[in-house]
Amino acid sequence: MNEIKAIIYGLGQMGRILARLSVEKGVIPVGAIDMNPAAAGKDLGELAGFGYPLNVKVSDNADEVLFQNEADIALIAVFAELDRSFPLFERCIENGVNVITTCDESLFPWTTSPETTARLDKLAKQHGVTIVGAGFQDTFLANQVILFSGASHTIEIINGYQSYNIDDYGPVVAEWHNLGETLDEFRKREQEEGTDLSYFIMSLETIAAGLGLTIKNISQRTEPVTSETELYCKSLDKKIPAGRTIGRTQITDIDTWQGIKLHGEEVSKVYMEGETDEVIWSIKGEPDTFLRNDRVATRFQTCTQMVNRIPDVINSEPGYVTVNELPMLRYRAYPLHFYVNERGRNP
């Protein structure tokens, strides 16, 4: 392949980073889609902060962009839920375009959305393309743990912890967290609406699949995070009073038939000054082992991993493919089309 042509689908904070990084890795943008009317008609280079035009106009008409532009892959950064993302994926797949997405649930959705995943798998195989959910979880919350486990003789439990700053992801994510609730309001809403899906489930399931474990049951609960002092949320441009919720901790536990347990805690909150993202893993067994990633650039490294995965998606067999089924993620020193072989063979 002499070049990789891509469509950038979603031009929020993540999509703009994806646009820059992919172009700098030699990918040719041939289309850009965003549902925000304010973005329509602007040049992708202008919107993504290149400082020069790319001669690619942003459009809010996805069908038109996909029909008029022949692309190898679509980089989709819009929704976190698979069902909401399905129409976007469907459009791309039916136009013969491979898909890689930041959609959190897409990392490993076979348990949480089995029917939707099966539909996408069948559709992708019919059209000879591949769909992959990737991003930050790929390395930090899945594959490094699978690799790390190889240092163990026996394993009793795998424990994971991740924190990220809500303010890094804009108002949509901030509003989803219902910031500023009292503890009573938080608990009442949880009782009435149920616990929101924790996307750490997908990471733990990816690890279980990578280790060949069979899941027996999954449980999840959510705890509020509060601050003893008033805190400013820049995404919502408002102050959160002391004692009100500034985020939450989603706790996931998985039991397997092999007896190995997996436990994950995902803390999403508005940070206080000096706080940084971190990922911590420990494996209790023989021997006990520990892995810690401090000061991770969660938002940016979501995008770096997606871009470095582009050749793997194009090379992969058609269908819905999870990252544990792909080759080990690695840095790409050359333009990405250098790494593309005929489908199904990775260099």
CATH of the domain at 201: 3.30.360
Q: CA 175, 180, 183, 184: dihedral to nearest 10 degrees? A: -80
**Are 179 and 117 in the same domain?**
no
Range of the domain at 125: 5-135+300-339
Percentage of the chain modeled with pLDDT above 90: 89
Alpha-carbon distance of 145 to 128, in angstroms, equals 31
How many angstroms from the chain centroid is the CA of residue 220?
19
**Are 101 and 128 in the same domain?**
yes
Mean pLDDT of 145-161: 97
Alpha-carbon distance of 188 to 219, in angstroms, equals 20
If phi over 0 gives left and psi between -120 and 50 gives alpha, with beta otherwise, what is residue 222?
A: beta
Q: Is residue 28 part of a domain?
A: yes
How many CB atoms neighbour CB 256 within 10 A?
16
Q: What is the pLDDT of residue 170?
A: 80
pLDDT tens, 275-309?
999 999 999 999 999 999 999 999 999 999 999 99
pLDDT tens, 207-262?
999 999 999 999 999 999 999 999 999 999 999 999 999 999 999 999 999 999 99
Alpha-carbon distance of 12 to 187, in angstroms, equals 31
**Are 158 and 282 in the same domain?**
yes
Q: Is residue 145 part of a domain?
A: no
Model confidence at 344: pLDDT above 60: no
Domain total for the chain? 2
Mean pLDDT of 127-144: 96
247 and 225 Cβ atoms separated by less than 8 Å: yes
CATH of the domain at 123: 3.40.50.720
